[in-house]
């Protein structure tokens, strides 16, 4: 798998605007291989968490209906430039990814 996430975090009008591109196939389990006719196994992100300076700011539950390489955007009040942002996810197969960024 390539780089698991790309994060952009910047302050706008007193809150941190955070955008995360999560590199993941997000396979539903419903699509079939055209040659064999067998379904591709389900493989999708289930949980996403975000912390700012080790304080939880987001806990999201995703499912198979989300597109490949999901893009998630959210805002955090009370954050400051230089704060440490950590985003992590876990998928239905137990794979995990974690990335860090500083809020600009």
Number of domains in the chain: 1
The 10 Å Cβ neighbour count of residue 83 is 19
State how far the Cα of 5 lies from the Cα of 69, in Å rounded to an integer: 9
Cβ atoms of 7 and 99 within 8 Å: the answer is: yes
Q: Is the pLDDT of residue 2 over 90?
A: no
Nearest to 101 by CA among 61, 50, 60: 50
CATH number for the domain spanning 44: value is: 2.60.40.10
Q: pLDDT per residue over 45-98, tens digit each?
A: 999 999 999 999 999 999 999 999 999 999 999 999 999 999 999 999 999 999
State how far the Cα of 63 lies from the Cα of 89, in Å rounded to an integer: 12
What lies within 8 Å, CB to CB, of 25 at 6+ separation is 43, 68
Q: Is the pLDDT of residue 4 over 90?
A: no
Average pLDDT over residues 38-47: 96
Task: Read off the pTM.
Answer: 0.92
Nearest-Å Rg of the Cα atoms of the chain is: 16
State how far the Cα of 62 lies from the Cα of 93, in Å rounded to an integer: 14
Residue 3: the pLDDT is: 76
Q: Which domain holds residue 18?
A: 5-102
């Amino acid at each position: 798998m390539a780089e698991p996430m790309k994060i952009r975090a910047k302050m706008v009008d007193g809150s941190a605007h955070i955008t995360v591109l999560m590199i993941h196939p997000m396979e539903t389990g419903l699509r079939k291989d055209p040659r064999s006719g067998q379904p591709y196994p389900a493989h999708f992100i289930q949980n996403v968490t975000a912390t700012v300076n080790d304080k939880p700011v987001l806990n999201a539950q995703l499912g198979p209906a989300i597109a490949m390489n999901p893009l998630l955007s959210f805002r955090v009040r009370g954050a400051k430039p230089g704060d440490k942002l950590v985003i992590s996810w876990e998928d239905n197969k137990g794979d995990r990814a974690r990335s860090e960024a500083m809020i600009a």
